[in-house]
């Protein structure tokens, strides 16, 4: 990442430490903040609005929903190829 982004993420990390965020959660906070910054195509953070943040989160949720739906369909197909005896697991995976 470029220097201003690294500087921001370093300051963000220090802020999460000050708020006693656990180390495991802190890593995810930093990752998500970095992903958000990368998605802004070089725009300065000071120019972003709450709408920009909301739109980013909405796009991210839609992508995640699509991916989880695709994975579930793939699993359902794979389970359908298993032997024909129903089990609780195969029934749970095949329910749309």
Choose the weakest-confidence range: 6-15, 17-26, 49-58, 86-95: 86-95
pTM here is: 0.60
Q: What is the total residue count of the chain?
A: 96
Q: Tell me the C-alpha distance between 24 and 29, whole Å.
A: 9
pLDDT tens column, 26-76: 898 888 888 888 888 888 888 888 888 888 888 888 777 666 666 666 666
Provide the H-helix boundaries in the chain: 3-18, 23-39, 50-80, 88-94
């Amino acid at each position: 990442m470029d220097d201003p982004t690294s500087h921001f993420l370093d300051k963000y990390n220090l802020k999460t430490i000050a708020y006693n965020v656990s180390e495991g959660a802190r890593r995810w906070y930093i990752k998500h903040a970095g992903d958000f910054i990368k998605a802004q195509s070089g725009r300065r953070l000071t120019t972003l609005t709450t709408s920009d943040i909301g739109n980013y989160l909405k796009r991210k949720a839609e992508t995640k929903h699509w991916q989880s739906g695709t994975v579930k369909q793939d699993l359902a197909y794979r389970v359908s190829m298993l032997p024909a005896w129903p089990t609780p697991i195969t029934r749970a995976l095949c329910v749309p």
